Structure 1
Amino acid sequence: MGTIRLKRAYEPADLTDGRRILVDRLWPRGLAKAEARIDQWMREVAPNPELRKWFGHQPDRFPEFRRRYEEELRSDPVHRRCVEEILHAAERETVTLVYAAKDEVHNHAVVLLDCLYHWRE
C-alpha cells in the first residue's frame, strides 16, 4: 500500500512524491505548469465554490468548514468517485496531494487527507 501525503504547490517536486494530484479547483497563481509537474488535476474533489468562498481561509471558520466539506466528500457522488480514484492510486504507488493554500493547517487538503486515511481503514 502506497502512502498519501500533502505538499504545497510552491514546494519543488521530487521523485519521492510519486503521483502528484492537484486537488485545488483553481490553478495555483504564478506557477508554471511545467514547473508544477502535476500528473493529474482533480478539480472535482475540491470544495464547491460556495463553500470555498464562505471559508475564505479564515482559521476561526475551519471547524465548520471541515464539517461541511467532510459531508460533501461523503454525500456527493462526484466527490466520492474522486476519493475512490485517489485511494485506488495509493494502492499502487505513493500519492502526493498538491494544494496552493498558504496556511498548511487550515485548508481543504488537510481535511481530504484525514478523510482518505479514515476511509482507507
Structure 2
Amino acid sequence: MTTIHVKRIRDAADASDGTRILVNRLWPRGISKERAALTMWLKEITPSNELRKAYHGGELDADAFAAAYRGELEADDEARAEARVELRRLLAEHETVTLLFDAANTEFNHATVLREWILEGGLDATR
C-alpha cells in the first residue's frame, strides 16, 4: 500500500518524500521548478477557482469546503477524470507519494482533504 504524505511546497524536498505531486491550481510564487523537485503537477485535481475563492473569502467554513471539494473530486468532467487516472497510476507505481500544497494552514487545506478522500477509497470509487 502506498504511503501518502502532505507537505508544504515551501519546505525543503527530501528523499523520504518519494514521488512529489503538486496539487495547487496556481504555481507557487517564488518557487523554482528545480526547488520544487516535482514528479508531476496535477492542477486539475484541485478545487475549482470558485470554490477556492469562496473558502478563502470566508463564505464557506472548513466542513462546507471539504464537502464541496469532495463533490468536485467525484465530478464527471474530462479534465478531472484524466487527473484521477494519472493520480491512480502514480499511487499504484510508487511506495511513497507526497501531495504538495502552498496554503498557509498546514492542518487543514485542500491537500489534506484530497489525502483523506483517497485513503477513504474515493479514488477507487470514481472512474
TM-score by length of 1: 0.89
The 5-angstrom pairing of residues 1-121 of structure 1 reads 1-56=1-56, 58=58, 61-77=61-77, 78-93=79-94, 94-119=96-121
Mapped contact 1:87–1:116 kept (Cα < 8 A): no
Query: For residues 81 and 120 of structure 2, what CA distance do their matches in structure 1 show?
Result: 14
What are the ranges of 5 or more consecutive residues in structure 2 without an aligned counterpart? none
* Partners of 1:22 and 1:38 within 8 A in 2: yes
Identity of aligned residues (%): 37
Structure 1 CA distance for aligned equivalents of residues 18 and 5 of structure 2: 10
User: How many pairs were matched up?
Assistant: 120
TM-score, length of structure 2 as denominator length: 0.85
Residues 49-104 of structure 1: CA distance to partner in whole angstroms, max 9, x if unpaired? 0110000075x711110010000101233324323322321122111111000101
Question: In proportion to residue count, which structure has more helix?
Answer: 1
Distance across 2 between alignment mates of 1:57 and 1:30: 23
- AA aligned to 2:61 is R
Go from structure 1 to structure 2 and tell me whether the alpha carbon gap of 1:24 and 1:57 turns closer, same or farther (over 3 Å shift). Answer: farther
